[in-house]
Chain A
Amino acid sequence: MRFNRRSRLATVAFGVAEALRRHGIQAVLSGGGCASFYTRGAYLSADLDFILSKPARRAVVDAAMASVGFSREGDRYVHSKVRFYVEFPRGPLAIGGDWQVRPARHRRAGAELLTLSPTDCCRDRLAAFYHWKDRQSLRVAVAVAARHRVRVGVIRHWSEQEGKTREFEEFVREVRKARATGKHRGRI
């Protein structure tokens, strides 16, 4: 797959995931890149964080990334024509204390991309809001929940486990507001 300066984040994510898969590597898009994927660019992240499902040799990852034009610079992979860069943070794939995270599968033109589910993407962003008081992450979690079906019971339970019931209530209020005022109507 060839990328250019106008390649969107989702296009790059599918291309990278497919290149990794061809080299026998399974990886899950998480973090800000995943949030950007679900908000269709309403929140734009420059980095694509892929968590490897199993350990992989650096040389194999390098080869997979080189097959789609990315080269390694330190810990990140960059492409001369793509504004996004790719990183492979250490796993496991986990949200706070919960490491039994099941990825969501997306298909496009024969390629497959694994990401966090919308629910887990919300939890991932909320973790930053809960622990770092990062209100930008709250806004992104709200944007994801306003556009997708999320399992509110799962988020509530996890929030309670993290000791963040009040912050969770603020999240619910914000999602209700976003759905009432925006085009993304629904129940939460």
Chain B
Amino acid sequence: MQVVSRSSPFGGPTRTRVLLAIRLLGDSYARELARLLEVPLSGAQRALRSLERDGLIAGRAMGRTRLYRLDPRYFAHRELDRYLERLVEPERDLERRAAALRRRPRRAGKPL
């Protein structure tokens, strides 16, 4: 059995990985993060709420979806951004998964 150990400097593995994923994607929402990180939706939602309470991320409503990104108004935003950039480097698997997400626009009605 392979034992994988990851550092979680932001209080818990889900919180840390949610932050890393948002850093990679620019912005995201609970369901996308849950799929990407393979965690329960409730876990992703809980992590997002606590990160938002701490001021590290900010969310805003886009229709019925709440879209989150790193909060550019956070007093240590630049430093946090650089730190996450460094932390995400060894996360090849996460990068690969993020790269597999289709996020570019698709004209309405265009067949798959």
Q: Are B73 and A128 in contact (CB under 8 A)?
A: yes
Is A10 in the interface zone, CB < 8 Å from B?
Answer: no
Is A75 in the interface zone, CB < 8 Å from B?
Answer: yes
Among B26-82, those with CB < 8 Å from A are 53-55, 58, 60, 72-73, 75-78
A89 to B56, CA, bound (A): 12
A89 to chain B: which residues have CB within 8 Å?
A: 53, 55
Among A60-76, those with CB < 8 Å from B are 75
Partner of B75 from A98, A128, A132 at Cβ < 8 Å: A98
A28 to chain B minimum Cβ distance, whole angstroms, is 14
B46 to chain A minimum Cβ distance, whole angstroms, is 13
Interface residues of B (CB under 8 A from A): 53-55, 58, 60, 72-73, 75-78
Partner of A96 from B53, B55, B73 at Cβ < 8 Å: B73
Is A113 in the interface zone, CB < 8 Å from B?
Answer: no
B78 to chain A: which residues have CB within 8 Å?
A: 97
Q: Are B72 and A94 in contact (CB under 8 A)?
A: no
The 3 closest A-B CB pairs, nearest first, are: A94-B75, A131-B72, A127-B73
A75 to chain B: which residues have CB within 8 Å?
A: 53
Interface residues of A (CB under 8 A from B): 75, 89-90, 92, 94-99, 127-128, 130-132
Q: Which residue of B lies closest to A89 (CB)?
A: B55
A97 to chain B: which residues have CB within 8 Å?
A: 75-78
A1 to B77, CA, bound (A): 39
Q: Are A90 and B54 in contact (CB under 8 A)?
A: yes
Q: Which residue of A lies closest to B72 (CB)?
A: A131
A130 to chain B: which residues have CB within 8 Å?
A: 72
A-B contact pairs, 11 of them (CB 8 A): A90-B53, A90-B54, A90-B55, A95-B73, A96-B72, A96-B73, A98-B75, A99-B75, A128-B73, A131-B73, A132-B58
B39 to chain A minimum Cβ distance, whole angstroms, is 23
B60 to chain A: which residues have CB within 8 Å?
A: 132
A131 to B55, CA, bound (A): 15
A79 to chain B minimum Cβ distance, whole angstroms, is 22
A119 to chain B minimum Cβ distance, whole angstroms, is 16
A132 to B53, CA, bound (A): 18
